[in-house]
């Protein structure tokens, strides 16, 4: 499901204007942001646009979302020489691709259930072991890059040239922004991620399409580092 261009544009404008307020001191660190409803009324946009703007700011480390309490201004801690603007741009890029990644990766996984060869399944199981090893070493950067490899292997197992092309393009784009996610990784988030990716791989090996749908949904709707909840 692609998102309308005007909604994406509005969410980016809102994210940039909120960030300006944070930089100016209008919203100091620790300040609770207005609710989605209040922000939507102020900026005259939909709550979906506000939700995406807050997601961008959460990804870039400028906002800390606490379930049931709201969103609070936080101070981003970006290593590796990346600055505020780089974090915001990476957050926008990741947010823009989420809907289409969810749809395309679900399609490729469902086809992989039917078309995967023994060789495909062995590669899938091998990359899950690699994920486990990276987390044992607390190497979140290598772990996240390996999750992209897993999705590429699933796409290849679909044996659909169109889906392979789409997943490759989306993965290549996401790979450039992956540093922003590993900046915010914690052991709990890593454990959730491993569980979701392992379940997805196992579902394909077992040819369980319902389990594939469940794993894919959890990946994109429950993944803590990807989502804002007001």
With b meaning 16 or more CB within 10 Å and e meaning fewer, what string describes 11-40? bbebbeebbeebeeeebeeeeebbebeebb
Structural domain contains residue 30: yes
Centroid of chain to Cα 86: 17
Residues 152, 157: Cα–Cα separation, whole Å = 9
Whole-number pLDDT of residue 71: 86
Structural domain contains residue 182: yes
Q: Are residues 59 and 107 in the same domain?
A: no
User: Is the pLDDT assigned to residue 110 strictly greater than 50?
Assistant: yes
The structural domain count of the chain equals 2
Listed in order, strand segments (DSSP E) in 120-183 are none
Residues with Cβ within 8 Å of residue 69, at least 6 apart in sequence: 32
Structural domain contains residue 106: yes
Structural domain contains residue 87: no
With a pLDDT cut of 90, the percent of the chain lying above it is 45
Residues 36, 38: Cα–Cα separation, whole Å = 5
Structural domain contains residue 1: no
Q: Are residues 137 and 206 in the same domain?
A: yes
Q: Are residues 101 and 162 in the same domain?
A: yes
Q: Are residues 112 and 207 in the same domain?
A: yes
Q: Are residues 37 and 108 in the same domain?
A: no
Range of the domain at 16: 10-73
Whole-number pLDDT of residue 5: 44
Q: Would the pTM of this model clear 0.75, i.e. be above it? A: no
Strands 63-66 and 70-73: antiparallel
């Amino acid at each position: 499901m692609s998102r309308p261009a005007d909604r994406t544009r509005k969410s980016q404008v809102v994210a940039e204007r909120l960030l300006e307020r944070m930089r100016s001191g209008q919203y100091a660190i620790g300040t609770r942001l207005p609710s989605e409803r209040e922000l939507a009324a102020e900026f005259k946009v939909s709550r979906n646009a506000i939700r995406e703007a807050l997601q961008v700011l959460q990804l870039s480390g400028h906002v800390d979302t606490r379930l049931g309490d709201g969103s609070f201004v936080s101070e981003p801690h970006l290593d590796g020489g990346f600055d505020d603007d780089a974090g915001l741009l990476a957050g926008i890029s990741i947010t823009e691709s989420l809907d289409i990644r969810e749809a395309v990766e679900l399609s490729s996984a469902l086809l992989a259930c039917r078309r995967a060869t023994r060789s495909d399944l062995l590669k899938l199981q091998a990359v899950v072991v690699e994920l486990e090893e990276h987390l044992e070493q607390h190497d979140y950067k290598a772990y996240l890059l390996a999750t992209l490899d897993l999705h590429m292997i699933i796409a290849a197992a679909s044996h659909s040239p169109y889906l392979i092309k789409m997943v490759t393009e989306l993965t290549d784009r996401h790979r450039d922004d992956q540093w922003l996610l590993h900046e915010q990784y914690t052991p709990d988030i890593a454990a959730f991620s491993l569980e979701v990716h392992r379940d997805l791989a196992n579902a394909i090996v077992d040819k369980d399409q319902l389990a594939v749908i469940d794993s894919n949904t959890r990946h994109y709707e429950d993944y803590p580092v990807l989502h804002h909840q007001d």
